[in-house]
A and B are shown apart, each in its own frame.
Chain A
Amino acid sequence: MFQKTRSFRAFLIFFSIIIGILVFFPLLWMINTAFKPATETFRLSLFITNPTLENFKSVLMSPEILRSMGNSLFVSFFSCFSATLVAMFAGFSFSKFRYAGRKVFMSAVMMAQAFPQAILLLTLYTMMQAMKMDGSYIALILSYIAFILPVGTWTLKAYFDQLPDALIESAKIDGAGWPRIIFQIIFPLAVPGAISTAIYGFVWSWNDLLYSLTLITEPARRTLAPALVMKYMGEFNNNWSEMMAASILVSIPVTLIFIMLQRYFIAGLTSGAVKG
């Protein structure tokens, strides 16, 4: 794409260094600090003289963090699974069907992310209070689904757009009913898009702070981000190494899932965006 001129090489090298440091150094620093014993965090050395696991142990032994991780796993799996399913139905509907109001529905779903989430929260919170449902995960999970849908539906619609209509036609001629067409023929072909949506959904739910902080008030039912904030917010001056260890631990599940399924994610993002 680019000719390897001298100036281009200089450009490459210069920005590789700068952006490379920006992108990777903080990660290394976070890992580095997490393995330092608490006494040494104040010595700014790149090489760890006494690597230790004591920070990780402290975090893992704190019941609030462990419990919140379990809560987050439950909420995130539920949300990403449901959101993917709903998005698949909606994406398929938008792609291969025509009916009155289709375009309006499409705009509605896409625009969901443009509504300030904090303002929706005001009503959702008062609604939950009034229905005596505050503290239940239902509002949280439904909210996550609502916010995952725009990107998920868009991605999956793009996948379904690429499927030839002939596939459905021939299945119909063979006498297949809609359930069979959908589940046995169409959906298996959209697996990459589904995985991409599920990853997005999982990351969204796992990382969310605003909604989980507000809607879930009982400490035992808290999810991860609020639990982290509650535990460490006041301790900025004291326990950096434990904070870094905690930050790493909470990032591990999403990172693992992401590394394993990264291909699908980027493919999903770009297939929806780059349309021929």
Chain B
Amino acid sequence: MTSEKSRRKVALSDAAVGFILVAPAIAIFCGIILYPFVNSVLMSFTNRSLLNPDFKLVGLQNYQKVFGDPTFLRTLSNTGVFVLFATLLPFVLGMIWAIILNQKFRGAGFLRGVTLIDWIIPGASISFLWSFIFDANHGIVNELLRSCGLISQNVNFLGQSGTAMMVVIIARTWQMLPWYMAFLTGGLQGIEYDQLEAARIDGANNFQVFLKIILPGMKSIIIIVLVLGIIGNLQHFDIPKVLTAGGPAGSTTVFSISVYRQAFESYKVGIAATIGTIWAALLAAFSFFYTRRAGRD
């Protein structure tokens, strides 16, 4: 009797302890994510400016302005192009690189580590590096193309609309290839050998094994990594900002740059919130997929 009483001295039930443990995370979520998000969406219905503490509701006026603005369409297509290529390229290259480095040879682990350096360097540094490589006057790409006779004059990669986006995509691909490689390496190493053996016995060649056993075996990792990659690219700010500042002529302005510019350079927080809300709606679609996948664990 007495021993049971003393054990029940600890008044907290298991569920309560669980609650307490998760409280800090939820508090931070509410304070940094939930409240600011709702408030920002509400801001899109006002004419708020950073220059003036007063503001009033303007209904859907901001949305009319944004949708009527031709630059919005360009921002949308820039973001679409960026997300498409900056996700697919590093994914494919990362997969191939993962396969290459998965071959058991000495130094594979070391090379994997060095590859990851590309990912952990600050985005600002990466932007400096690639702006140098593609520089119009002193960049090595121009030098190489000239010495191969492919061009007769230096190309101003960062000063022209089409090529500027290309450089941004290349820089982002370079940055993210290691990340995809790391995840996909995990996926590759999780493939069961029995299935591989069975396929070999049935006479499958490398390509068939890849398509029929390996890819399906990696399906959940592939989906996760693509969804996370798309979400990350939809939000990405550093490289377009530092490499090209959203230019030239707005050709590398993606959503994040557009919102930043409206809010902190034009001080029109209401308009910025409008663009942001539209952007968030797009992101919501992808995050839905992600939580469904992650929730299966």
Contact = CB atoms under 8 A, between A and B. Distances in A.
Contact of A244 (B32, B39, B128, B269): B128
A236 interface: yes
B259 A118 contact: yes
Contact of A5 (B117, B205, B286): B205
A66 interface: no
B97 interface: yes
Interface size class of B (residues with CB under 8 A): 35 or more
Residues of A in contact with B, size category: 35 or more
Interface in B189-231: 189-191, 196, 200, 205-206, 209-210, 214, 220-221, 224, 228, 231
Interface string A104-139: 011111111111111111111111000000000000
A161 B234 CA distance: 31
A262 interface: yes
A3 B234 CA distance: 39
Interface stretch (B63-71, B148-156, B273-281): B273-281
Given A89-B22, A270-B189, A115 B100 contact: no
Interface of A: 1-3, 5, 7-8, 12, 15-16, 19, 22-24, 26-27, 29-30, 33, 41-42, 44, 86-87, 89-90, 92-94, 96-100, 102-103, 105-127, 142-143, 145-146, 149, 153-154, 157-158, 161, 175, 177-178, 182, 203, 206-207, 209-210, 214, 224-225, 228-229, 232-233, 236-237, 240, 243-244, 246-248, 250-251, 254-255, 258-259, 262, 265-266, 269-270, 273-275
Contacts of A115: 33, 37, 280, 283
Given A29-B133, A117-B235, A19 B182 contact: no
Contact of A247 (B40, B125, B283): B125
Query: Which of B32, B34, B100, B234 counts the most chain A CB atoms within 10 A?
Result: B32
Given A114-B283, A265-B182, 8 more contacts: A93-B21, A118-B256, A122-B273, A225-B238, A250-B124, A255-B117, A258-B113, A266-B185
A90 B24 contact: yes
B237 interface: yes
A119 B186 contact: no
21 contacts: A1-B102, A23-B174, A26-B118, A29-B129, A44-B143, A90-B21, A99-B16, A107-B291, A108-B33, A123-B40, A142-B32, A207-B238, A209-B238, A210-B238, A210-B256, A244-B128, A247-B122, A251-B125, A254-B122, A269-B182, A270-B186
Majority SS at the chain B contact face: helix
List 4 A-B pairs, minimum CB-CB distance, nearest first. A270-B186, A97-B18, A114-B287, A119-B276
